Chain A
Amino acid sequence: MIVYILKRLLQTIFVLWGASLVTFILMNVLPGDPVRLMLEKRATPQAVERIRHEMGLDKPKITQYLDFVKNALKLDLGRSYFTREPVMTALSRRFGVTLRLASSAYAIALVLGISIGVLSALQRGRALDSAVRGVAVLGISAPVFWVAIILQMVFGLRLGWFPISGIRSAGSFVLPAAALGLRHMASISRVTRTSMLEVISQDYIRTARAKGLAENAVILKHALKNALIPIITLAGTELGDLLTGSMLTEWVFAIPGIGKLMVDSILMRDLPMLQGTVLYVAVVFVLSNLAVDISYAFIDPRIRYAKSD
């Protein structure tokens, strides 16, 4: 198991290196001169050259890339062209906000998604199942900004229960977390239902019942653990999605998270910031995939033993 985790970590390093290379190439093939974008139009060619030299942009591309990697290893991703704030500082600050939003939305998605998915499977074909499936379809197909606006109108403006924008209090996270969580809950509940339906028809579930176990023990101990693999796969991807920020939700609720930072840096052509956020997205996805792979091995001994071979 430890060997497996070490191997996966090693692969992760290669994936991150690849991601850094792709990010660097993409930033360099984008049209427009970053120095010209930074400076006013009337800047003299001498001033442009001086800034270019200061930023190391006059060096060969390979040297620039190696400098980028060397600095990235020291957690230095450069400074914003416009605010001069170090990219790492901006990312850390925004990450705190995104993490609060993501963890609330993720809790809603996991707890409700798995619970109603299980209930729906157990009530297959009955009214509850149909209702859950209807809500799931709505949750998946309704655009998140639309759900967000509806929530703002109902719970923010009409009922006045929660703030509709900003992050002034813990209550500010309720509506954006609900808007984001509903969407992810819908997909998790669908996968849970399908996976549970497959598992509860297995012979070992009949064996568990034949042992005299109560139905909740059969479901929680014998069925759910077997149904978890596809749920975890999806939950891992969704965690990555949430941690990299939901641009639309953050925009609608004016939350200064990673998603908004990324949109802002694209709009302002703030290349170091954009490079930093893209690299951050890659890191989050690579780590959440690693977490998913490790959880597979913890849940299913067949995977654990196959991996150790």
Chain B
Amino acid sequence: MGDSGTVVLSVKNLQTSFPSRNGKARAVDGVSFDVGRGETLGIVGESGCGKSVTALSIIRLVGEPGRVEGGEILYGGRDLLELPLGEMRRIRGNKIAMIFQEPMTSLNPVLTVGAQISEALRLHEGLGKREAMARTREMLAMVNFPAPEKRAKEYPHQLSGGMRQRVMIAMALCCTPDVLICDEPTTALDVTIQAQIISLIEEQKSRTGAAVLMITHDLGLISEMADRVIVMYAGKIVEEGTKMNVLTNPLHPYTEGLLNAVPRIDRDSGTLDVIPGMVPNLACLPEGCAFRPRCSRASEACLMSPPRFETLGSDSSFHGVNCWLAESAS
């Protein structure tokens, strides 16, 4: 949990699915986690394993025909899934804000940067046009924009990718949210800009004490930012624990595979390790464990039924895994 131990957001048994020709694709299947104030929870996995859909489910923005079918998302003692839409809108962008993966397309091309940031301030903080614009300039200065007055009048196409992502960060943080969801915030940026964005998010997190949900497939980013890590595969959590436990002592073959696929400067191997195969079609998952067809250590047991989530360790060194291997070992 976070430094203060206060749980800000609690997701319980979340189920989100999309209808498809082959039946229902369960993009998120029974995902549960808590995130505390000032804590960064990393969610990792390959593309298509349900990370982004989990994030969009939290703010109830899963695109049609997708549907959140079950579970609870508790924030401020209330289940967000039960809230009327009007109340949910008062939380979006205000108490729970999101930074999206693609800064080049996430900003409206026909509105100035200033107008896009200030509309959230006017909506949630009830500020007048002039006050909102003044706050917008402060926010732009805070995310290290030189000449914020001038930049506020510019349009997204006049800014670089890194600058646009900083605008997204300013927009997300302008109402000082309790939860900041970052959906692959650095994926579309080049490496030097990535570092700037990461330090900016860290800086703002420590300033506001927001809980951060960092969704990424970049384990390097996780090792730098996260306090706890969740590894997702085929819509389910397959491993969860403190950053140290998951990254240095992975229990699930999938996590191990992801870690082995990271290029390392201290290892002289000709080719990178890869996890064979692809993420399965979520509408027709393999029998037993969904990772079985790609797992080098699969056994008879993996075919019989899906594994149960096993927890190891205490609260401070919590480690859980969803694998028959761990179950048989324990």
Contact = CB atoms under 8 A, between A and B. Distances in A.
B208 to A, nearest CB: 17
A305 B157 CA distance: 10
Contacts of A221: 111, 119
A305 B107 CA distance: 17
A207 B123 contact: no
B89 interface: yes
B94 interface: yes
B59 A210 contact: yes
Contact of B107 (A207, A209, A210, A300): A207
A209 B100 CA distance: 12
Interface string A203-229: 110111111111000000110011000
Contacts of B168: 207
B171 interface: yes
A207 B106 contact: yes
Contact of A301 (B61, B106, B120, B155): B155
A204 B106 contact: yes
Interface string A181-212: 00000000000000000000111101111111
Given A202-B105, A211-B92, A300 B110 contact: yes
A226 B110 CA distance: 7
A208 B91 CA distance: 13
Given A210-B61, A211-B92, A211-B93, A204 B107 contact: yes
Interface residues of B, number: 29
Instruction: Choose among B90, B119, B168 the residue with the greatest number of A CB atoms under 10 Å from its CB.
Output: B119
B106 A213 contact: no
Given A212-B90, A222-B111, A203 B155 contact: no
B97 A226 contact: no
A211 B172 CA distance: 8
A182 B80 CA distance: 45
A220 to B, nearest CB: 12
A254 interface: no
Nearest to A301: B155
A120 to B, nearest CB: 16
A273 B143 CA distance: 67
Contacts of B171: 207, 211
A211 B123 contact: yes
Instruction: Choose among A207, A222, A301 the residue with the greatest number of B CB atoms under 10 Å from its CB.
Output: A207
B158 A305 contact: yes
A302 interface: yes
Given A206-B61, A305-B157, A212 B123 contact: yes
A300 B158 contact: no
B263 interface: no
Contacts of B157: 301-302, 305
B98 interface: yes
B190 to A, nearest CB: 20
Interface string A293-309: 00000011110010000
B124 interface: yes
A208 B98 contact: no
Contact of B93 (A210, A222, A299, A301): A210
B120 A212 contact: yes
A300 B157 CA distance: 11
Interface string B48-66: 0000000000010101000
Instruction: Choose among A201, A208, A212, A300 the residue with the greatest number of B CB atoms under 10 Å from its CB.
Output: A212
Interface in B143-166: 155, 157-158
Nearest to A225: B110
B107 to A, nearest CB: 6
A212 B94 contact: yes
Instruction: Choose among B90, B94, B106, B157 the residue with the greatest number of A CB atoms under 10 Å from its CB.
Output: B106
Interface string B113-129: 00000011001100000
B286 interface: no
Nearest to B88: A212
Interface string A127-162: 000000000000000000000000000000000000
B108 interface: yes
Interface in B19-53: none
B109 interface: yes
A307 to B, nearest CB: 13
A300 B112 CA distance: 11
Given A203-B102, A210-B59, A301 B123 contact: no
Nearest to B181: A210
A49 B89 CA distance: 84
B119 A211 contact: yes
A298 to B, nearest CB: 10
Nearest to A201: B63
A201 B61 CA distance: 12
Nearest to B86: A214
Contact of B100 (A201, A206, A225, A226): A206
A221 B63 CA distance: 20
B119 to A, nearest CB: 7
Given A212-B93, A214-B89, A301-B155, A207 B120 contact: no
B123 A210 contact: no
20 contacts: A203-B105, A204-B106, A206-B63, A207-B106, A207-B168, A208-B108, A210-B61, A210-B97, A211-B171, A212-B89, A212-B91, A212-B93, A212-B94, A213-B89, A213-B93, A214-B89, A222-B108, A300-B110, A301-B110, A305-B155
Given A203-B106, A207-B100, 12 more contacts: A204-B109, A207-B108, A207-B168, A209-B61, A212-B92, A213-B119, A225-B111, A300-B109, A302-B109, A305-B155, A305-B157, A305-B158
The 8 closest A-B pairs by CB, nearest first: A211-B93, A212-B93, A212-B92, A203-B105, A204-B108, A301-B155, A203-B106, A212-B89
Interface of A: 201-204, 206-214, 221-222, 225-226, 299-302, 305
